[in-house]
Amino acid sequence: MEPAAGAGKTIAVGVTGGSGAILARRVLELLIGAGCRIHLARSRAGRMVVHDELPSPDGSDGLTGGLRTDALREWGERDFHAPFASGSHPIDGMVIVPCSMTTLGAIAHGISDNLIRRGADVMLKERRPLILVPRETPLSSIHLRNMLEVSQAGALIIPPVLTFYQHPGSDVSAQLDFIASRILDHLAIPNDLFRRWGEI
Ligand SMILES: Cc1cc2nc3c(=O)[nH]c(=O)nc-3n(C[C@H](O)[C@H](O)[C@H](O)COP(=O)(O)O)c2cc1C
């Protein structure tokens, strides 16, 4: 049997208080499905957004409920004992999805006062892949300046922008998969979630 595409990779996933918890869930699902090990952290506001946007009638966690738990370990918002809080721990990449403007601003200014921000700071200093999925509209010049700052420091910004050339119609799940696939691409995890340009 072929090993899963991401087998052996360890990815940190941060979920902050931007809107878009459903995208975070889809990314977790895909990373775990690809055979990755996940270190997960969510901010207090991230927890609120999950509660609001992924309500679960049976009381299970809307973000991780039903996902394979042997591949996933969740850390507290300020638990700096998590492996990805230190550059000495090998990790293949980090994605912050959704990334609020608060977290973006903190990362842009080197403020590591919670585990997600510290993880991002470590990825930048170690020159490892850091993907931010910022969610806000419209964007102020402060937001744009912070994005330029983190981009110049080495982060990759993948805004959750809609696709149209895929002809998704009104299919939200196709939009989610389009964005998720761009995230997986940049973590070097092969995927065929959508038809590439040139294949249409
Ligand atoms: C339901 C809900 C949706 C929100 N959506 C956004 C958003 O899309 N973008 C954003 O920057 N902040 C959004 N916020 C506000 C952030 O959660 C807030 O600024 C918080 O301080 C972010 O903290 P964090 O980055 O530590 O998670 C939202 C808050 C709630 C409760």
Exposed, middle or buried: residue 137 (CB in 10 Å: 0-12, 13-18, 19+)? Answer: exposed
What residues form DSSP beta bridges with 102? none
Short-list 177, 153, 29, 40, CA closest to 95:
40
pLDDT in tens, 66-93: 998 899 999 999 999 999 999 999 999 9
**Residue 194 binned pLDDT confidence (cut-offs 50, 70, 90):** confident
Could you give the CA distance from residue 81 to residue 86 in angstroms, rounded to a whole number? Answer: 9
Would you list the DSSP string of 57-82?
TTS--TTTTTS-STTEEEE-TT-TTS
**Residue 59 binned pLDDT confidence (cut-offs 50, 70, 90):** confident
pLDDT at 192: 87
The reply to whether ligand 1 has any atom less than 6 angstroms from the CB of 49 is: yes
pLDDT at 44: 98
pLDDT at 195: 79
pLDDT at 138: 98
Could you give the CA distance from residue 83 to residue 66 in angstroms, rounded to a whole number? Answer: 25
The reply to whether ligand 1 has any atom less than 6 angstroms from the CB of 21 is: no
pLDDT at 1: 59
Minimum CA distance residue for ligand 1 atom 26? 43
Assigned CATH class of 10-186: alpha beta
Q: Report which ligand 1 atom has the smallest distance to the Cα of 106.
A: 25
**Residue 2 binned pLDDT confidence (cut-offs 50, 70, 90):** low
Give the pTM: 0.96
Q: Where are the alpha helices (DSSP H) in the chain?
A: 21-33, 44-53, 101-108, 115-125, 141-153, 172-186
Is residue 5 left, alpha or beta, with left meaning phi > 0 and alpha meaning psi from -120 to 50? Answer: alpha
Short-list 155, 64, 53, CA closest to 103:
155
Contact 90, 10 (CB under 8 A): yes
The reply to whether ligand 1 has any atom less than 6 angstroms from the CB of 18 is: yes
| Averaged pLDDT, 84-106 | 97
Could you tell me the residue ranges of all domains in the chain? 10-186
pLDDT in tens, 106-149: 999 999 999 999 999 999 999 999 999 999 999 999 999 999 99
Contact 11, 91 (CB under 8 A): yes
| Averaged pLDDT, 95-110 | 98
